[in-house]
Chain A
C-alpha cells in the first residue's frame, strides 16, 4: 500500500483581521492557552475556516505579537482565512458569543478593505499602561533618570538563556500620569509608555527593570500591565494609528 499524498486544500476566499482583548483574570492565559481556546471558539461558532494542506490540516490562523502571560490587553491581533465570504460584523458577533468572558472580540475587519501591509508589518509599536503601587513623585524621579540616558542595558531570562539588551532606544514616549489613585481607588502611579517593537522585543517589564537599574526606584509590590493599543506609528513617531482602519481612498 503506497502512502497517499494529502489532499490539497483550497486557498482562503476571505481573510479577516480580529482585534481582541484579554481582560480581568483572563490576562493569565498564555498564548498557547489562548490559541487553543480560540480554535475551539471557531468550531463552536461554526466559522467556515480554510484549512492548511498537509497530513494534519490546521485552520488558517496567524497570530501577531502576543502579549506576555499576566499582562492585560485591549489590542491583540490575529488573522483568519475563511472558506466562505462572510460579513465581518457577523463573525465578530458569533465569535464573541463563543469565547469565555474576558477574552473579548473587539473588532473584525476584512483584509481586502484594510490598509496595505501584513499584520506583523503594521504592528510597529504598542501603547502600554503600567500601573504600580509606587507614589507619583517616586515614579517621576525614576522616569526622569531613565529618560536622561541614551541606552540602558537589562538582562532577562529567555528561552535561549540569559540575554542582555538595551531597553532605552525602544522607548518612544514615557510619562507618569498625574492621577494618584488607580481605577480601584488604590494609591499608586500610572505610567504611559509607547514602545517600539524591536528584536529582541523590549517588554514593559523590561523598561521597569531598566528604570530601577539607573535610579533609586524601589521594587513595586504591585504592577499591572495593560496593552492599550498596537499599530503603525504616526509619521512623528509620537502616537499610533489604527491598524484596522480602512485603506485611504486612492488619490
Chain B
C-alpha cells in the first residue's frame, strides 16, 4: 500500500504555475486500488513517464495507448508521471515530496516498473531529474531490490547506449504487446516469491528477445576510440536484441478512451493513427526505417475510432496520423466518407503529414469541407533537386509548384514548407535554392489567385544523423556552418523586396542539433556527459529557454575526459563501413549491408544527380528492394484497400 502524496502537495499548489497539471483527474483517466488484482494474485504496477512537461507529455499517443492497454487488465495498474517544472521541483525538494504520479499521487519509487517513453533524446536530463526526485538510485547498478525496473522505450530506445548506465532495460519496437509480455514475466516472478532478485527478473526479461538489458553486455573500445566489440557477459543472453512488431492494427484500436486534460496542451485534438510504418525510403528518416513494414488500419476501424474518439473526448478536431497520411490506400474514400458523416457539424479533420506527390485537391477539399482552411504543409526537406536525390525524396520543383498552384487557386492563402539544413554533401547553393523555391511559390500563388495576400512560411530544421538509417555514417554539419548557411538564406530572401514580406522564416540555431547528434549516435561513454549536464542544472533540453549549449559543451569536456574522444568525434566525424556502431547489436530488421549500399547510392547521387544511382521506390507498389526487415522479423506489409465504405451515422 502506498499513500497518496496529494495532502502534502495541495497546500503548496497555489504557489506554482499552472497547478492543474499536477492534480490529475482528467476525463477518462483511471485510478485503481493499489492491490487491484483478483484475490490471491499478484498486481503488477507501472508508472509511465513522458520525460517532458505535462502539456507536451499528456497528448502523447504512445503513453496514452500503453496506459489504456495496461489498465484494461484487472491485475495491472498503470499511472502517469511527467517532468515537473523548476518551480515545482523546488517545492518538492523543500518539502521532500518525491516524484509522484498524477493519477493516484503515488510515489514513483513504489511501482514495479518506471516506463519512460523516449520520443527524443532531449528528454534524458529530465529522466535523471525524475529518478533523483523519486529517490531511485541514478545508476542501475546501485538499485536495490525494492526499487522499480527503469525501462526505456520509444524511437530513441533504438540506441539506448547513452543512457545505459541509468536504465535497467529498453524495449525495442511497438509497445502494445510488449508491455503485456513484460507484465506477465513480472507477475510470474513475483508470484514465485521473487527468486534471484532483480537480477533474475532482468535475465527473464532479456530472454523475451525484444528487451535489451545493457548490464548483460560488455563493451570494449579500440585504440582509435571506436567500439571493438559488444558481447553478452553471461550464458543464454542473446547476441542481438530484435524489435517487437505489432501486426493487425485493427485488433488494437487504441486510444479508445482518450485522455482529456483540463490544462491546455500542445495538441488540442483527438488523433487516430491510420497506419504505422513507412517505406518511402527517405534516408534521413529514422521513424521510416525502424517502424517497417507498413501496417494499415482499415477504413472501417478508422471510422469507428474517429466516432468513438469524438464522443469520448469532446474534441472537435481529429487528426489522421501517420508518417505520410495521404499514402493510405483508402485515403480518398476515408476523406469523403468522414466529411459526409460530419457535414454540418463543427468536427474538422486534418492530415498532419502529406507528401507533395500524394497530395490532391479533391482530398484537400474534403478535409476542409466544413469551411476551415488551415494552412497546407509540405516537406520537400531538400532545397535543391540534387539534395532531394541524395535524401531519396524525389519531389521535382515542377510537382511542387503545380501542387501549390492548385492549392492557391482553390482558395488556400498560406502554404508551409519544411526543409532541412546540413544534409550530407550539402553546399551553400543547395540551401540558397530554398529561397528561389519560396519565391516561385509566391509568384505562382499571386498569378493563379490574382491576389497579393499569398503567404509562404519556410521552416528549417538542422539535420541530425540517426541510428538505423542510411545516414548513420554521415558527418553532421558543424553548427557554425549551419548558422552561416541559414544567415545567407535569410539575407537572400530579405534582399528581394518583391517577395520578402510574403515569406516567413522559422529556424533554430544549429547548436541544439549538435547535442541531439551526440545523444543520438553516442555510446555508453556519453552517459557521463548526460549526468554531468544534469548535475550542472540541465533540464527541459527541448525548450530553447532552458537549453544551454555551453552547459552541454562543458559537460562533454568533463564527461569525456580521458576517453580520447570528444563532442566532435561523435557528431561531425564520418564513420567507415567497418566501424562497430553502438547500436549494431540492436536489430531493427534492416540489413546493415543494404543500409550501406543505400548510403553509397546517396553519395553517388550527390556526385552525379543524373547518374545511375536511382531512386529507391516504395515496396508497397514496386517489388521488394531487400531492406531486410520482413524476412528478418517474419512480418509482411499489411495494406488495403478493403473496398469497404463508411455508412452515415444514425442520428441520435
**Interface set of A (CB-CB < 8 Å, partner B):** 1, 25-26, 28-30, 32-34, 36-37, 39-44, 46, 57, 69-70, 98, 100-102, 221-222
A1 touches B6 (CB 8 A): no
- Is B293 an interface residue, CB under 8 A from the partner? no
Chain B, Cβ-Cβ closest to A38: B314
Of B13, B20, B449, most buried by chain A (CB within 10 Å of CB) is: B20
Question: CB < 8 Å: which of A28, A37, A39 contacts B23?
Answer: A28
* Extra A-B contacts (6), CB below 8 Å, given A28-B19, A70-B13: A34-B262, A36-B268, A40-B260, A43-B316, A69-B14, A70-B14
CB pair A40–B314 under 8 Å, yes or no, is yes
CB-based contact A40/B315 at 8 Å: yes
Residue in B closest to A41 when the chains form the complex, CB atoms: B314
Closest to B449 in A: A1
Q: Which residues of A contact B315 (CB under 8 A)?
A: 40, 43
What are 14 A-B residue pairs whose CB atoms fall within 8 Å in the complex?
A1-B411, A25-B24, A28-B22, A33-B262, A33-B263, A33-B264, A36-B262, A37-B262, A40-B314, A43-B315, A43-B346, A100-B25, A101-B25, A102-B25
Complexed CA–CA distance, A37 and B652 (Å) = 23
Are A36 and B264 neighbours in the complex by a CB distance under 8 Å? Answer: yes
The answer to whether A25 and B6 touch (CB under 8 A), given A43-B314, A44-B313, is yes
> Nearest Cβ in chain B — how far from A15, in angstroms?
20
Count of residues in B whose CB is under 8 Å from the partner chain:
32
If the complex has contacts A100-B27, A101-B25, A102-B25, are A28 and B20 also in contact, measured as CB distance less than 8 A?
yes
Among candidates A1, A69, A221, residue contacting B11 with C-beta atoms closer than 8 Å: A221
Q: Is there contact, CB below 8 Å, between A33 and B260?
A: no
CB distance from B349 to the nearest CB of A (A): 15
Cα A228 to Cα B486 with chains together (Å): 59
Q: How distant is A39 from chain B, measured CB to nearest CB, in Å?
A: 8
> Does B440 sit within 8 A of A, measured CB to CB?
no
Chain B residues closer than 8 Å to A30, beta-carbon distance: 18, 20
Residue contact A25 to B10, C-beta cutoff 8 Å: yes
Please report the C-alpha to C-alpha distance between residue A26 and residue B19 in the assembled complex, in whole angstroms: 10
B26 within 8 A of A: yes
B20 touches A29 (CB 8 A): yes
- B645 interface residue (CB < 8 Å to A): no
CA distance A25 to B25 in the complex (A): 8
Within 8 A of A (CB), among B23-48: 23-27
Q: Which residues of B contact A43 (CB under 8 A)?
A: 310, 314-316, 346
By a CB distance below 8 angstroms, the chain B residues around A40 are 27, 260, 313-315
Q: How far is the CA of A222 from the CA of B316 in the complex (A)?
A: 40
Q: A28 to chain B: which residues have CB within 8 Å?
A: 13-14, 19-20, 22-23
Specify the chain A residue showing the minimal Cβ separation from B313: A40
Q: Are B411 and A100 in contact (CB under 8 A)?
A: no
- Which residue of B314, B411, B450, B652 has the most chain A CB atoms within 10 A of its CB atom? B314
- Taking A1-B449, A30-B20, A36-B264 as contacts, is the C-beta distance between A222 and B11 under 8 angstroms? yes
Enumerate chain B residues within 8 angstroms of A57, measured Cβ to Cβ. 346
Report Cα–Cα, A101/B27, bound state, in Å.
8
Give chain B interface residues in 128-179, CB to chain A under 8 Å.
Answer: none
Contact A100 B26 (CB under 8 A): yes
Output the nearest chain B residue to A221 by Cβ-Cβ distance: B11
- The complex places the Cα of A44 from the Cα of B310 at a distance, in Å, of 8
B194 at interface (Cβ–Cβ under 8 A)? Answer: no
Interface string of B236-274 (1 = CB under 8 A from A): 000000000000000000000000101110001000000
Set of chain A residues within 8 Å of B19, measured between Cβ atoms: 28, 69-70
* Smallest CB separation, A183 vs chain B (Å): 14
Q: Closest B-chain residue to A68, C-beta based?
A: B14
Query: Which 8 A/B pairs are nearest by Cβ-Cβ distance?
Result: A40-B314, A70-B14, A44-B314, A43-B314, A28-B19, A25-B23, A33-B262, A28-B20
Contact A98 B25 (CB under 8 A): no
Q: In chain B between 294 and 343, which residues have their CB closer than 8 angstroms to a CB of chain A?
A: 310-316
The residue on B at minimum CB distance from A225 is B14
Contacts of A1 in B (CB 8 A): 411, 449-451
State A222–B263 Cα separation when bound (angstroms). 25
The listed residue with most A CB atoms (<10 A of its CB), out of B6, B22, B260, B268, is B260
- Chain B residues positioned under 8 Å from A25 (CB to CB): 6, 10, 23-25
- Residues of A contacting B310 with CB < 8 Å? 43
A25 to chain B, nearest CB (A): 4
A100 to B313, CA, bound (A): 11
Q: Is A32 a contact partner of B14 (Cβ separation < 8 A)?
A: no
Complex contacts, A32 vs chain B, CB 8 Å: 264
B6 proximity list for chain A (CB < 8 A): 25
Given contacts A25-B6, A25-B23, A41-B314, contact A46 B11 (CB under 8 A): no
How far is A102 from B23 in the complex, measured between Cα atoms in Å? 12
- Docked CA distance A1–B449 (Å): 7
How far apart are the CA atoms of A102 and B20 in the complex, in Å? 13
Which B residues are in CB contact (< 8 Å) with A221?
11
Chain B residues whose CB sits within 8 angstroms of the CB of A37 once the complex forms: 27, 260, 262
- Taking a contact as CB atoms under 8 Å apart, the answer to whether B25 and A26 are in contact is yes
Complex Cα–Cα for A46 and B346 (A):
12
Enumerate B567-626 residues with CB–CB distance to A below 8 Å: none
Residues in B neighbouring A41, C-beta threshold 8 A: 314
CB distance from A59 to the nearest CB of B (A): 9
A33 CA to B262 CA in the complex, in Å? 5
With A and B bound together, what is the CA distance between A32 and B18 in angstroms?
11
Distance between B312 CB and nearest chain A CB, rounded to angstroms? 8
Of A32, A44, A57, chain B has the most CB atoms within 10 Å of the CB of A44
List chain A residues, Cβ under 8 A from B449: 1
Q: Report B-chain residues with C-beta under 8 Å of the C-beta of A70.
A: 13-14, 19
Q: What is the CB-to-nearest-CB distance from A99 to chain B, in angstroms, rounded to a whole number?
A: 8
Residues of A contacting B24 with CB < 8 Å? 25
**Judging by beta carbons under 8 Å apart, are B262 and A100 in contact?**
yes
Question: Taking CB as reference atom, which chain A residue is nearest B409?
Answer: A1
Q: With A and B bound together, what is the CA distance between A42 and B310 in angstroms?
A: 12
CA–CA, A25 to B14, complex, Å? 11
Quote the shortest CB–CB distance from B23 to chain A (angstroms).
4
With a CB–CB cut-off of 8 A, which chain A residues contact B260? 37, 40, 100
Closest beta carbon of chain A to B131's beta carbon, Å = 26
Separation of A25 and B451 alpha carbons in the complex (Å): 52
Residue of B nearest to A49 (CB): B346
- A30 vs B13: C-alpha distance in the bound complex, in angstroms? 13
Give the shortest distance, in Å, between A251 (CB) and chain B (any CB).
Answer: 44
Q: Give the residue name and chain of the A residue nearest to B314 (CB).
A: A40
Which of these, B14, B20, B27, B312, contacts A33 with CB under 8 Å?
B20
User: How many angstroms between the C-alpha atoms of A40 and B265 in the bound complex?
Assistant: 14
Residue of B nearest to A37 (CB): B262
A40 to B27, CA, bound (A): 11
Bound Cα distance from A32 to B55, whole angstroms: 14
- How close is B501's CB to chain A, nearest CB, in angstroms? 20
Complex contacts, A33 vs chain B, CB 8 Å = 20, 262-264
Closest to B18 in A: A30
- Nearest-CB residue, chain A, relative to B23: A25
Q: CA A30 – CA B19 in complex, angstroms?
A: 9
